[in-house]
Amino acid sequence: METGRNGSIDFIRALAIIVMIYLHALAYYLDEKGVYFLWDIGQFAVPFFIFCSAYLFFVKDFPKKDFDPLAYIKKRLSRLLIPYYIFLTIAFAVIYLTRPKELTPAFAANSILLVAGVDISWLVLLFVCFTFILPLLRYLIQNHSLFFNLYSLIAFFSGFYLLAFHFRFNYRLIMWVPWSTILIYGYYYVKNAGNKKFLVFNIIGSLVVFILGFLYKKYPLPMIYLQANKYPPNAYFLSYGWFFLNLILLFDVGRYRIFYFVSRHSYSLFFIQWLVIYILVFYHWHFKVSWPIFFLLILIISFLIQIAVNYLKKLKRNRFFKPAKSS
């Protein structure tokens, strides 16, 4: 298994958050001609995020003989939930100041518990689920390969099941099953690092699944309706992200590592962009400018806020951890 930093991972994660901002911006312009198609074709952001999380786990934590699952879970949950609840505190304040009627007890409770409320909470919940699933997969790979293979088959074929059947209950309860396909792929990618044939096989396989899913759904060209297949994701949706993921990995487009800053701060940018969009929409900026300008506004403001946050953190560290002068 490969070690060290992979420039493609930085690129994939940076691209994922930029595309996610793009999707959230375009969501306010879907009535305009052609915008729905431009919005729909960007639906590969979440698979990219999940793959990066799986890759980093298997390339770093999987080889460790002294791996402590409880310590990993505790550390991972703190990294996921502390930023989320900081964001939620600010979000509640912003909602209260702008649209107080939206901040109902039910909305607040659902947001805190990650079962509904703030719309982006579903992705935080998904990664909370993966915090427990990844150590389980590690244990199964090392000790019970039969059960790992069984879990892999269930995750893989659940995507095909969801092509034809829909659940009537909250999708958040079962979304981790089909999304686990990307986790498992992350393990096999690490295991087959440097194997171009592995990537080519996955490119061809994902393209075949996507075409078959498109034919099964009988969608009229050029529309592909990916969003309609996302909650929870089926094989049609997953194969789309899988295809572009392998394409990027095959050509190693991230080897220049110019997206390191965005990749490093992708999780905080995920929350910042929501607050920026909420405020801009409250002041009706989506009616004042075209969607490209609206997208660039969100992107630039979010990056500037992140830079400011980094600067304040640096000042705080220098203030409290300034080395004492020698006498």
For 129-157, what is the mean pLDDT? Answer: 96
pLDDT at 327 over 60: no
| Residue 288 belongs to some domain of the structure | no
Task: Name the domain count of the chain.
Answer: 1
Q: Which residue has the tokens 């905080």?
A: 268
> In b/e form, how buried is each residue of 100-130, taking b as 16+ CB within 10 angstroms?
eeebeeebbeebeebebbbebbbbbbbbbbb
| Residue 276 belongs to some domain of the structure | no
pLDDT at 322 over 60: no
| Residue 313 belongs to some domain of the structure | no
pLDDT at 23 over 60: yes
Query: Would you state the structure tokens that stand for residue 225, as one six-digit string?
Result: 């309706």
Give SS3 for 326.
coil
- The 3 state secondary structure assigned to 142-191 is HHCHHHHHHHHHHHHHHHHHHHHCCCCCCHHHCCHHHHHHHHHHHHHHHH
The CB density around residue 259, as the number of other CB atoms within 10 Å, is 21
Q: Are 232 and 175 in contact (CB under 8 A)?
A: yes
Cα separation, 140 vs 153, whole angstroms = 14
**pLDDT number for residue 3:** 42
| Residue 322 belongs to some domain of the structure | no
More confident residue, 66 or 198: 198
Share above pLDDT 70 across residues of the chain, in percent, rounded to a whole number: 94
pLDDT at 319 over 80: no
Cα separation, 303 vs 309, whole angstroms = 10
| Residue 96 belongs to some domain of the structure | yes
**pLDDT number for residue 63:** 72
**pLDDT number for residue 267:** 95
pLDDT digits (tens, 9 = 90+) for 57-98: 999 877 777 889 999 999 999 999 999 999 999 999 999 999
Q: Identify the band that residue 255 occupies on the pLDDT scale cut at 50, 70 and 90.
A: low
**pLDDT number for residue 154:** 97
80, 188, 181, 116 alpha-carbon torsion, rounded to 10°: 0
For 140-168, what is the mean pLDDT? Answer: 93
Task: Calculate ∠ Cα 78-119-236, nearest 5°.
Answer: 100
| Residue 64 belongs to some domain of the structure | yes
pLDDT at 112 over 90: yes
Structural domain of 40: 7-269
Mean pLDDT of all residues in the chain? 91
| Residue 292 belongs to some domain of the structure | no
| Residue 320 belongs to some domain of the structure | no
For 2-28, what is the mean pLDDT? Answer: 86
**pLDDT number for residue 313:** 87
Q: Which pTM value belongs to this model?
A: 0.91
Cα separation, 97 vs 292, whole angstroms = 28
**pLDDT number for residue 320:** 62
Cα separation, 171 vs 167, whole angstroms = 7
Cα separation, 69 vs 137, whole angstroms = 11
At 30, the amino acid letter reads L
**pLDDT number for residue 325:** 55
Closest Cα partner for 23 from 39, 47, 9, 36? 39
Q: Are 183 and 133 in contact (CB under 8 A)?
A: yes
* Helices and strands in the chain: count of H runs, count of E runs: 14, 0
pLDDT at 1 over 60: no
Query: Based on C-alpha coordinates, what's the Rg of the chain?
Result: 21
Task: DSSP letter for 3, please.
Answer: -
DSSP string of 295-309?
HHHHHHHHHHHHHHH
Burial of 244 (0-12, 13-18, 19+ CB in 10 A): middle
Cα separation, 76 vs 87, whole angstroms = 17
Q: CA of 1: how far to CAs of 96, 137, 138, 249, 323, in Å?
A: 50, 16, 14, 16, 40
